[in-house]
Structure 1
């Protein structure tokens, strides 16, 4: 990449001195590669839009006579993926975890089953468990095509377990799979046969690689559109997670009607600044996103080359996201890779076991690496992993490691 790219370097001082959890919650000597925030700044268009709003002191209660700008921006954005959302069915929320919690309460009853592909985003699993619903895991399988999810016998299992809601995370976190049209059509057929509501989390849709194409689940068929709640946000692709703004397009009439009967302020309201940032991201930050995707593609290749040179670590290149799902099961640290790397190497990854909590699936040998950082920081983090795997003593381990082939 060009030396002038905003993605070539990061300011560790800025990151450590701020209020962000990724860098703020770790000791000064630790390199964080865990929570799904990027180390880069924000798009210039977002910064300028926020500055204009603050300069005119536009921080009161929001009112848009022409319609909520976030809803309009979302509808425009979805057309990029070949889907036109039905007008009047989109609501603005604070984040996708809130969307999930609301939809669980309005689409299911206590004791109902909620199917989800596992490994899964830990807060989603925790939310299902806390709500008194039962997690029905659809376990990942590693095959010749990489990560897949076995649907053999799935309809019978979901029927037996009184499943009412299918939680689809596509692109998938943490494996990085992008579900293809055949897989989505299969799931749509199962959902139709069992009359399931589908909550489709598509927050990583803008972060696919190569020829992988994101297909909104609601675009698969008219029936899929009528039973799907599509949830997304600009927060992941444009690095504005703290702005707290998300949307949900609610296809099922019954769920929509139940939500509409709730008190007006039941769900809260994202701020004017949240909406300003979201619209500027989706509508005006295309060149920034293009540059980001180039940096992430290069970092993805660095991780893949490192794994190829590193005996005992297994990995499938993600088809989307900036997250690498690493299996340390054939190494000496396979019992607790994230914990051991943190304690001995001063590098923090996300703990694999959390991605299968409350299920019978075992992901203890895994750790999730966030590679949305500069090349320099990524190489430092991988060198620390190398040092631990090579048996270096505890402490700071900024050694050369295995130089990835480029």
Structure 2
């Protein structure tokens, strides 16, 4: 570990609960004073200085009007293509990249332009909450691809998916990779199996790669579109700096639109608002100037995810935990804990820890909670201490 990285770790560790509670964001601002929040998917680490410097420089110019981008194409298009090439060995065409306000908005837009009411939309379950709701709102049918917990982690049955796709009239596959909430990073073989089904049934693939930059070695993120030119031509790849660099409030994302028909539909739509110019500047600085910061954060998160495993094994072995292969989200199976059907409610009431309820990710979320460990290690220890103590006290009383 480099000296600069060790120093950064110390800076993170010194970020205490009192300081965090002074922040205006929803994660800490909306929680009761005695509650430790670990549900909202924001990290607590300070934003990288190159990003802040870029935003300050833009503000210093005093011009917050409409941006001037040649052919209405922001610099993010080329930056995205260069980043995909450097990090993931994929060479997407910059002219096929479009800007969006966030990944969820981009997914909805692509879904609307790729389906008709009643079409089937496949997605791995448990699923990121807004996506199933989006599918329902658009009059579409969700076709689950269940993830199953095994001693080796989370897996899915590709053959079963192939049968479902044929039987249930799938038109779209929403691929969340790395997966939220389980943290799986799908392997080349798994992606190839999905690709074979997509080719056979002519599916449009909407690939949400939002957490790609938060992948832990030895796992490796592979953009679905990078597997094969034919798959790239049917895939919309969504990406943003919002999670890896803690910039969700900047409202900026990009999407590489592989299907030519979808590009034509987007071009025919009435001109909408540009992305936030400060979000564009922040994202550009993140992708071009803040790699050291990201390396430090991923290393710190890696330590945190291991800490969860060791403390749960020692003090709360009833909770089943597969360390995520990416993301700063821990998907905890509390079904054997004996705290009822609502473990999130239990931990909020008994431990004063706020976790995301697994029911928000149904089907497949009953009895689970999602814990955001993108915080300082002392705060994470306090969260885990509260959770284990809330179960240990009733145990002692019962005995």
Counterpart of 2:165 in 1: which secondary structure? helix
User: d(CA) in 2 for partners of 1:16 and 1:279?
Assistant: 29
Aligned with 1:167 (options 153, 174, 177): 174
Deviation at 1:306, TM superposition (A): 1.4
1:343 corresponds in structure 2 to 349
Contact 1:334 1:364 (C-alpha < 8 Å) held by counterparts: no
Aligned with 1:236 (options 229, 243, 247): 243
User: d(CA) in 1 for partners of 2:214 and 2:8?
Assistant: 22
Deviation at 1:335, TM superposition (A): 1.2
1:62 corresponds in structure 2 to 67
User: d(CA) in 2 for partners of 1:105 and 1:387?
Assistant: 47
Deviation at 1:311, TM superposition (A): 2.4
2:6 corresponds in structure 1 to 2
User: d(CA) in 2 for partners of 1:207 and 1:25?
Assistant: 26
The answer to whether 1:71 aligns with 2:73 is: no
Contact 2:101 2:276 (C-alpha < 8 Å) held by counterparts: no
Q: Deviations over 1:219-268 (max 9, x none)?
A: 11111100000001001000111001001111011111111111012xx3
Q: Deviations over 1:275-325 (max 9, x none)?
A: 000000011001101110111011011001012112211010111111110
1:52 corresponds in structure 2 to 57
Provide the aligned length of Structure 1 versus Structure 2: 387
Q: Deviations over 1:187-220 (max 9, x none)?
A: 1110000000000000111111121110000011
Higher helix share: 2
Contact 1:328 1:334 (C-alpha < 8 Å) held by counterparts: no
Aligned with 2:91 (options 74, 77, 84): 84
The answer to whether 1:127 aligns with 2:131 is: no
Taking structure 2 as the reference length, the TM-score comes to: 0.94
Structure 2, unmatched stretches of 5+, are none
Contact 1:93 1:246 (C-alpha < 8 Å) held by counterparts: yes
2:389 corresponds in structure 1 to 387
Q: Deviations over 1:117-159 (max 9, x none)?
A: 0011101111111111111111111124310111123222112
1:247 corresponds in structure 2 to 254
Counterpart of 1:242 in 2: which secondary structure? helix
Q: How does 1:118-197 map to 2 (within 5 A)?
A: 118-197=125-204
User: d(CA) in 2 for partners of 1:118 and 1:304?
Assistant: 23
2:374 corresponds in structure 1 to 372
Aligned with 2:213 (options 179, 193, 206): 206
User: d(CA) in 2 for partners of 1:300 and 1:256?
Assistant: 40
Deviation at 1:4, TM superposition (A): 4.9
Contact 2:185 2:221 (C-alpha < 8 Å) held by counterparts: yes
Contact 1:92 1:247 (C-alpha < 8 Å) held by counterparts: yes
CA RMSD of aligned residues (A): 1.5
User: d(CA) in 1 for partners of 2:393 and 2:138?
Assistant: 43
Counterpart of 1:298 in 2: which secondary structure? helix
User: d(CA) in 1 for partners of 2:144 and 2:271?
Assistant: 35
Counterpart of 1:111 in 2: which secondary structure? coil
Contact 1:114 1:133 (C-alpha < 8 Å) held by counterparts: yes
Aligned with 1:305 (options 303, 310, 327): 310
The answer to whether 1:326 aligns with 2:332 is: yes
Q: How does 1:270-285 map to 2 (within 5 A)?
A: 270-285=275-290
Aligned with 2:102 (options 95, 107, 121): 95
2:115 corresponds in structure 1 to 108
Q: Which moved more, 1:107-116 or 1:60-69?
A: 60-69
Contact 2:17 2:379 (C-alpha < 8 Å) held by counterparts: no
2:32 corresponds in structure 1 to 27
Structure 1, unmatched stretches of 5+, are 394-406
Q: Deviations over 1:58-87 (max 9, x none)?
A: 311011238411111111111120101123
Large movers: runs of 4+ above 4 Å: none
1:397 corresponds in structure 2 to none
